[in-house]
Amino acid sequence: MRFPDGFLWGAATAAYQIEGAVHEDGRGVSIWDTFARTPGAVLRGDTGDIACDHYHRWPADLDLLKELGVGAYRFSVAWPRVMPSGDGAVNKAGLDFYDRLTDGLLERGITPMATLYHWDLPQALQDRGGWADRDTADHFAGYAEVVAERLGDRVPYWLTLNELYCSAFVGHLDGKHAPGLRDEKVAVTALHHLLLAHGKAVSALRASGTTGRIGITCNLTSVRPFTSDPADVAAARRLDLHENRMFLDPLFRGAYPPDAAGHYGAVTDFGFVHDGDLEAIAQPLDYFGINYYERHAVRADPADPVRGWQRVPPARPTVTGIGIDPVGLREILERVNREYTPLPLVVTETGLALHDYVAPDGTVADDERIAFFDGHIRAAHEALENGVPLFGFFPWSFMDNFEWQSGYGVRYGVYYVDYATQERRPKASAEWYRSVIRANGLVGR
């Protein structure tokens, strides 16, 4: 099972999850610093203060990436390092870090893929309303311009935002991510401003003259009704609106989905949409990133038959409660290609949380993770065979890290991190992935 020549095998991380050094070199406070300190918000009160100490250990980490053999590395730039207050003053030391990182990757023959926003909004902007405030979109474009001025000649792949669903809905409706709000009207407003921020950042990046390709990453789910009962079918359609179409339609069709006004009309009249916004949002892109973790069978919610849904629990949940369903990855890739865009697609994340441990013989035998990636790589290959222009696959994650509300309680890496000593060690999945990269597929397995 070979992949096309030049297929981009990568690995992914994000700034707050690995860097640590939150008080160093002029970094400002982010909403995740604040949220992690909120009692009860994160498992055991874990924070990203130290995390993988990647801010200091990046050269050795890049050596590991080279050893792994990846062609590309997806990292995120921390807005509060570059602009500690979100707008205004630029912190040169913050930019210097990403400059060194970019050069370090290029020196090792690894292609940088930079995400501009992986959830770490400067707290100073949150204090002025955060994503619920329209001005945040302009500040983001200003920040994008600053980063592009410095790195634009060397970063071949840009991603504006990571997972708008999580920023908007997990952060402002479910209250499980920073800033920890539970207000549906605010969540939908925040989503619009995130989309606008993306559009404005695309313009800023283009204007900067960067040679890099520009895209965005959405986490998408594969949704299907649990039965053919019209109530289940309608509930599945609503969940699909909430988890997929609210992002895909504005990005690729320049309009919110036809059923959005009805569904969210219960909380908002979409008065936050100004003339020209949707044109600004639906800018032409060069590629599109997809993060895939979940496939849902959906039932009507008897407690809320009009607006609700129930996700049927998976038969065999993983440690985070979701199931393993590689078929969903193929379905999403094919759907996006068929219904939304002929653009090149890339899997910017998929991965499995486990309670990995180092066995007495020093190994980390994460065979379940190998099976997980094997299944998802096969699904990606099927999509390719069915005509989807897929150009890369980035496992989440390069190494264990701060997993948001689960803190250090679950592990996603192909490298194991001993947080007390900061020692990294390849898990069985790292060895396996190296052989996949070398063979450019699952040849001979």
Query: To the nearest whole angstrom, how small is the minimum distance from the Cβ of residue 1 to ligand FCB?
Result: 26
Query: To the nearest whole angstrom, how small is the minimum distance from the Cβ of residue 426 to ligand FCB?
Result: 20
Helix axes 326-335, 367-385, angle to 10 degrees: 30
Query: According to CB under 6 A, which residues from 290 to 309 bind ligand FCB?
Result: 291
- Helix H or strand E segment including 424: strand 423-426
Find the part of the chain contacting ligand FCB (CB under 6 A) among 106-114, 159-167, 246-254, 279-287. Answer: 159-167
From the list 32, 117, 393, 404, which residue makes contact with ligand FCB (rule: CB under 6 A)? 404
Report how far apart, in Å, the C-alpha atoms of 361 and of each of 358, 366, 417 are: 8, 14, 16
Per CB under 6 A, 243 contacts ligand FCB: no
Per CB under 6 A, 219 contacts ligand FCB: yes
**How, if at all, do strands 345-349 and 415-418 pair?**
unpaired
CA distance 181 to 212: 35
276: left (phi over 0), alpha (psi -120 to 50) or beta: left
From the list 72, 77, 144, 166, which residue makes contact with ligand FCB (rule: CB under 6 A)? 166
Contact 247, 164 (CB under 8 A): yes
Nearer to ligand FCB, 55 or 396 (CB): 396
Of 19, 294, 331, 349, which residue is the catalytic one? 349
Query: To the nearest whole angstrom, how small is the minimum distance from the Cβ of residue 412 to ligand FCB?
Result: 5
Per CB under 6 A, 162 contacts ligand FCB: yes
- Helix H or strand E segment including 261: helix 260-264
Query: To the nearest whole angstrom, how small is the minimum distance from the Cβ of residue 352 to ligand FCB?
Result: 9
Residues linked to residue 296 through DSSP beta bridges, in sequence order = 223
Does the annotation count 423 as an active-site position? no
Per CB under 6 A, 403 contacts ligand FCB: yes
Nearer to ligand FCB, 126 or 397 (CB): 397
Contact 122, 29 (CB under 8 A): yes
From the list 55, 264, 292, 396, which residue makes contact with ligand FCB (rule: CB under 6 A)? 396
Per CB under 6 A, 412 contacts ligand FCB: yes
Q: Reduce the DSSP state of residue 118 to 3 states and report it.
A: coil
* Side-chain half-sphere CA neighbours of 309 within 13 A: 24
CA distance 389 to 384: 6
Query: To the nearest whole angstrom, how small is the minimum distance from the Cβ of residue 208 to ligand FCB?
Result: 25
Nearer to ligand FCB, 293 or 309 (CB): 293
CA distance 289 to 292: 10
Nearer to ligand FCB, 136 or 162 (CB): 162
Give the x/- contact pattern for ligand FCB in 35-74, rule: CB under 6 A: ----------------------------------------
Does the annotation count 163 as an active-site position? yes
Nearer to ligand FCB, 240 or 349 (CB): 349
227: left (phi over 0), alpha (psi -120 to 50) or beta: beta
From the list 3, 9, 10, 14, which residue makes contact with ligand FCB (rule: CB under 6 A)? 14
CA distance 165 to 15: 19
Query: According to CB under 6 A, which residues from 327 to 386 bind ligand FCB?
Result: 349, 351
Q: How many residues bind ligand FCB (CB under 6 A)?
A: 13
Find the part of the chain contacting ligand FCB (CB under 6 A) among 80-88, 120-128, 158-166, 330-338. Answer: 158-166
* Side-chain half-sphere CA neighbours of 135 within 13 A: 9
CA distance 432 to 426: 10
CA distance 391 to 393: 7
Of 163, 243, 331, 403, which residue is the catalytic one? 163
Nearer to ligand FCB, 17 or 102 (CB): 17
* Cβ atoms < 10 Å from Cβ of 315: 6
Contact 298, 312 (CB under 8 A): yes
Nearer to ligand FCB, 140 or 394 (CB): 394
Tokens 């290029």, residue located: 106
- The tokens describing 102, both together, are 């970019």
Catalytic residue positions, numbered: 163, 349
Where on the chain is the footprint of ligand FCB (CB under 6 A)? Answer: 14, 17, 162-163, 166, 219, 291, 349, 351, 396, 403-404, 412
